[in-house]
Amino acid sequence: MTDNANTARPAKSIITFISRGAPYGNNRANLCLDMALASAVFEQEVNYVFLDDGVYQLLKGQDGAAIGGKTLGSALETLALYGIDSVFADQQSLQERGIDGTDLLPSMQLIDSDAVAKLIEKSDTVFNL
């Protein structure tokens, strides 16, 4: 039995990350992304949701160099490289901020708040940053 416990792969859990911070002003957006990428490396099932001010991270044409930083938009494209395909943006958050589909980075799935609630319900762990 102990042998089994030692050799068993860690259980796969569903982790949902809710990114609610605008980019550049503070490092919350970067931290949330780092946690998700680390989870993906350890083969966890990751959902990534942009909510509230987090949707500002999705605007096309960002240029971090203008303020001497890195562009977060391009970092987000690494989500797919790490095998994270469940990337969602909250429709109401976009609407409230006057952002429409044409302003967004590609491969974003738009969902409503009920769908976010369901994602949370299905998850084993939720990080809200």
Partner 1 sequence: MSCLHTINRSPGSNLLKSCLSVINAGDAILFIEDGVYYCSQELNLKGIIETVKIYGLREDMLARASLSKSTERVETIDMTRFVELCCEHDKIVSWF
User: What is the contact surface with partner 1 in residues (CB under 8 A)?
Assistant: 22-25, 52-53, 56, 59-67, 69, 71, 73, 97-98, 103
User: 97 vs 120, which CB is nearer to partner 1?
Assistant: 97
Backbone region of residue 52 per phi and psi (left: phi > 0; alpha: psi in -120 to 50; beta: other values): left
DSSP conformation letters of 29-97: HHHHHHHHHHHHHTT-EEEEEE-GGGGGGGBTT--GGGGTS--HHHHHTHHHHTT--EEEEEHHHHHHT
Q: How far is the CB of 80 from partner 1 (least distance, A)?
A: 20
User: 104 vs 111, which CB is nearer to partner 1?
Assistant: 104
User: 23 vs 89, which CB is nearer to partner 1?
Assistant: 23
Which residue bears the tokens 């030692």?
Answer: 6
Q: How far is the CB of 5 from partner 1 (least distance, A)?
A: 47
Q: How far is the CB of 75 from partner 1 (least distance, A)?
A: 14
Q: How far is the CB of 53 from partner 1 (least distance, A)?
A: 5
Rg of the chain over CA atoms, in angstroms? 16
User: 10 vs 61, which CB is nearer to partner 1?
Assistant: 61
